[in-house]
């Protein structure tokens, strides 16, 4: 059952993308596309690219080289869209908190530049797992993209936790799914690109990647389509506090 | 191989952090209140600790070695105050967010103000701690991070002023600096 091109293999390759296309359609129907245009584009284009790669894989007339070219194209588009989705989620989050929006944008820009440098450095030192540059290049690109993506997602979660911000349900769900997928894929691609595992292990990693992605699509379906539970209200006035006094003192201290 | 192991471990740690955050978010939503307790802190004592005149007085009347020792103690005490202030701000941010989520029109403006003030305080406390740690390493330097921090504050002041022009409901914090 855990063989390449088995029924389970085909299901795990195609089904999450079909679900993602359905999600994209429902997002568009419910008007969520205006709030999350990058995620809508990601859902539609990424799923279409993956299905195209699957069709190229199973169609005998498509050569191996052309299959890898299709995969490359899909990978480049998907990577760009994922970064747009991360940016979109961060903007949605910071728009609610103007007091720290500037700091957040400065930090994410600086971290993004550092991650690009780090990922490029790691790629430069990687052994490469194939004599064909088209294949090893694709694996290194996967690793590079997942390093940057994972770093940015980890930063966003840490930033939110440090400042005790509240996620809106949609942003949280989108980033949670993307986070689980990117950390799992980073681990497997790092091993594939640097440790030259056997063909059997690669096949198992492919199953793990596809199963994780399937799970993440369910996470997106849940958070984007199932409404949040309404909790009982218990209105109370905010407590007295001396935050303004402390801010004055700390700003004076920072200016010394 | 080493690279593969390092990246895999980093990915596993990252995944645990993200899942942990997800679980804590759900707990936060279900509890609907903050579990921490606000600790009272004395603003006057803090003001005294960071007063440059006090530093000048100590510098004039103590030997350089004694001054560095006293200065380090004062910096540690200052850091304690700032940490407590940051802790309090976190609790008040959560309190404000609960009120905001409930959406009662009578409390929303005050809750918004509370969240904004709390976030500013948490940000300022982080910068202040950064400045204190630098000064702890080099106590006789004055405060080495000042130019950087002042530059940041000026930048931030401009951003806040722009924010004020775009949205009059957002307070211009920088104008409160004495």
> Which of chain A's residues have a Cβ under 8 Å away from the Cβ of B10?
150, 186
d(CA A189, CA A178): 16
Mean of all residue pLDDT scores within chain B? 74
> Which of chain B's residues have a Cβ under 8 Å away from the Cβ of A184?
11, 15
* Confidence (pLDDT) at A72: 92
pTM: 0.80
* Confidence (pLDDT) at A237: 57
Mean of pLDDT values over A51-76: 92
In a domain, A31, yes or no: yes
- End-to-end CA distance of chain A, in Å? 68
> Which of chain A's residues have a Cβ under 8 Å away from the Cβ of B96?
238
The 3-state DSSP composition of chain B as helix, strand, coil percent (nearest 5) reads 80, 0, 20
Predicted confidence (pLDDT) per residue in B117-145, tens digit: 888 888 888 888 888 888 888 776 655 33
Measured in whole angstroms, the distance separating CA B138 from the mean position of its chain's CA atoms is: 21
* Confidence (pLDDT) at A215: 96
Q: Say whether pLDDT at A196 is over 90.
A: no
Mean of pLDDT values over B151-175: 41
B155 pLDDT band, cuts 50/70/90, is very low
Domain that holds residue A223: 7-255
A3 phi, psi to nearest 5 deg: -115, 150
> Which of chain B's residues have a Cβ under 8 Å away from the Cβ of A163?
93, 119, 122-123
B153 pLDDT band, cuts 50/70/90, is very low
Mean of pLDDT values over B155-170: 42
Q: Most A CBs within 10 Å: which of B9, B12, B14, B165, as the mutation test of the A interface? A: B14
Minimum distance, in Å, between the CA of residue B63 and any CA atom of chain A: 23
Q: Is B80 on the interface with A (CB under 8 A)?
A: no
Q: How many CA atoms lie within 13 A of A23 on its CB side?
A: 31
Q: Say whether pLDDT at B175 is over 50.
A: no
Contact A102 B156 (CB under 8 A): yes
Mean of pLDDT values over A206-225: 94
* Confidence (pLDDT) at A56: 93
Q: Which residues 126-145 in chain B show a CB within 8 A of chain A?
A: 127-128, 131, 143
Q: Say whether pLDDT at B158 is over 60.
A: no
Measured in whole angstroms, the distance separating CA A129 from the mean position of its chain's CA atoms is: 24
d(CA B11, CA B66): 48
**Percentage of residues of chain B with pLDDT beyond 90:** 6
Q: Which of A97, A153, A256 is opposite residue B18, by nearest beta carbon?
A: A153
* Confidence (pLDDT) at A244: 72
d(CA B133, CA A177): 37
Contact A243 B119 (CB under 8 A): no
Minimum distance, in Å, between the CA of residue A10 and any CA atom of chain B: 27
Predicted confidence (pLDDT) per residue in B31-75, tens digit: 555 456 778 777 788 888 888 888 888 888 889 889 888 888 988
Mean of pLDDT values over A36-47: 95
In a domain, A2, yes or no: no
Contact A126 B149 (CB under 8 A): no
d(CA A67, CA A114): 33
* Confidence (pLDDT) at B165: 42
Minimum distance, in Å, between the CA of residue B49 and any CA atom of chain A: 10
Mean of all residue pLDDT scores within chain A? 88
* Confidence (pLDDT) at B172: 38
For CA atoms A48, A49, A54, A57, the dihedral sign is positive
Domain map of chain B by residue range?
A: 37-141, 145-178
A151 pLDDT band, cuts 50/70/90, is very high
* Confidence (pLDDT) at B39: 80
Q: Say whether pLDDT at A32 is over 70.
A: yes
Contact B110 A125 (CB under 8 A): no
Contact A193 B4 (CB under 8 A): yes
- Count how many domains chain A has: 1
Mean of pLDDT values over A57-61: 91
Range with the lowest mean pLDDT among A57-66, A241-250, B112-121, B144-153? Answer: B144-153
Q: Most B CBs within 10 Å: which of A235, A240, A252, as the mutation test of the B interface? A: A235
Residues A116 and A94: beta-carbon distance below 8 Å: no
In a domain, A1, yes or no: no
Q: How many CA atoms lie within 13 A of A146 on its CB side?
A: 28
């Amino acid at each position: 059952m855990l063989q390449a091109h088995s029924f389970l293999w085909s299901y795990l390759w195609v089904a999450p993308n079909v679900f993602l296309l359905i999600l994209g359609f429902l997002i568009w129907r419910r008007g969520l596309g205006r709030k999350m245009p990058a995620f809508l584009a990601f859902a539609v284009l990424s799923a279409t690219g993956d299905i195209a790669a699957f069709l190229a894989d199973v169609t005998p007339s498509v050569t191996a080289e052309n299959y890898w070219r299709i995969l490359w194209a899909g990978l480049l588009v998907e990577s760009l869209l994922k970064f747009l989705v991360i940016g979109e989620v961060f903007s949605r989050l910071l728009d609610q908190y103007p007091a720290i929006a500037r700091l957040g944008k400065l930090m994410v820009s600086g971290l993004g530049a550092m991650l690009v440098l780090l990922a490029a450095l790691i790629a430069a030192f990687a052994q490469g797992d194939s004599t064909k540059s088209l294949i090893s290049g694709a694996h290194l690109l996967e690793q590079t993209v997942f390093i940057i993506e994972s770093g940015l997602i980890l930063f966003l979660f840490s930033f939110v936790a440090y400042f005790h911000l509240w996620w809106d349900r949609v942003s949280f769900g989108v980033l949670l799914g993307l986070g689980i997928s990117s950390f799992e894929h980073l681990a497997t691609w790092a091993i594939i690109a640097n440790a030259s595992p056997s063909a059997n292990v690669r096949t198992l990693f492919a199953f793990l990647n596809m199963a994780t992605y399937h799970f993440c699509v369910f996470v997106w379906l849940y958070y984007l389509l199932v409404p949040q539970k309404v909790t009982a209200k218990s209105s109370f006035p905010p407590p007295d506090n001396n935050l303004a006094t402390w801010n004055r003192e700390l700003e004076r201290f920072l200016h010394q | 191989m080493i690279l593969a192991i390092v990246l895999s471990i980093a990915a596993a740690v990252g995944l645990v952090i993200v899942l942990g955050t997800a679980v804590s978010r759900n707990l936060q939503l279900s509890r609907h209140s903050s579990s921490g307790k606000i600790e009272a802190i004395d603003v006057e004592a803090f003001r005294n600790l960071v007063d440059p005149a006090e530093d000048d007085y100590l510098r004039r009347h103590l030997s350089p070695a004694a001054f560095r020792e006293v200065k380090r103690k004062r910096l540690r005490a200052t850091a304690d105050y700032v940490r407590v202030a940051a802790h309090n701000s976190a609790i008040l941010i959560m309190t404000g967010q609960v009120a905001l989520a409930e959406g009662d029109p009578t409390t929303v403006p005050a809750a918004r103000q509370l969240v904004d003030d709390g976030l500013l305080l948490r940000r300022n406390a982080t910068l202040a701690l950064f400045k204190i740690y630098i000064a702890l390493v080099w106590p006789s330097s004055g405060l080495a991070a000042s130019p950087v921090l002042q530059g940041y504050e000026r930048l931030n002041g401009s951003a806040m002023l722009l924010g004020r022009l775009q949205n009059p409901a957002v307070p211009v914090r920088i104008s409160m600096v004495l």
